[in-house]
Amino acid sequence: MKLPSPKRPARSDIDMVPMINFAFLLLIFFMLAGTLVPAQKMPIDPPRSAQATPADPSGNVLLVAEDGRVGFAGELLLESELPARIAQWRKEHPQEPLRVKADAAVDATRVIQLLQSLRAAGIEHVSLLAARGAP
């Protein structure tokens, strides 16, 4: 008896080219439309503001997390270390306004109390960072 030879699986004839084209389009879109941000030590969900002027959120930024923890330029700091650190930064950048990235849910008095403690370090004007758009 002659057994039928097992059928070879059909060659996959799915045309990959349109899918690749589309995926390249997406890749280029995501590369150009987004900005890469370094990983943060603490998650900060910024407040929204309609009146904010465009600003750069990276670099030497004072961070205030929702639970009140503070950081500067990406590293966590104790509150007692902060004035010395800010004073040193102020010496290197005498003109630049201090940028403050604080969580939308943090107590406003906490932020103001921190900033008032930095007046001795020469901080009188700050830029509060916010996401632009109506809240």
Site for other proteins (CB under 8 A): which residue of 63, 65, 86, 128? 128
Residues 6 or more apart from 98 whose CB is under 8 A from it?
62, 86, 89, 90, 118, 123, 125, 126, 127
- Measured distance CA(1)–CA(90) in Å, rounded: 93
Per CB under 8 A, 75 contacts other proteins: no
Site for other proteins (CB under 8 A): which residue of 54, 78, 80, 92? 54
- Measured distance CA(62)–CA(73) in Å, rounded: 7
- We find the least distance from the C-beta atom of residue 5 to other proteins, in angstroms, to be 25
Q: Which residues bind other proteins (CB under 8 A)?
A: 16, 20, 23-24, 26-27, 30-31, 33-37, 46-57, 97, 99, 102-109, 111-113, 115-120, 123-133, 135
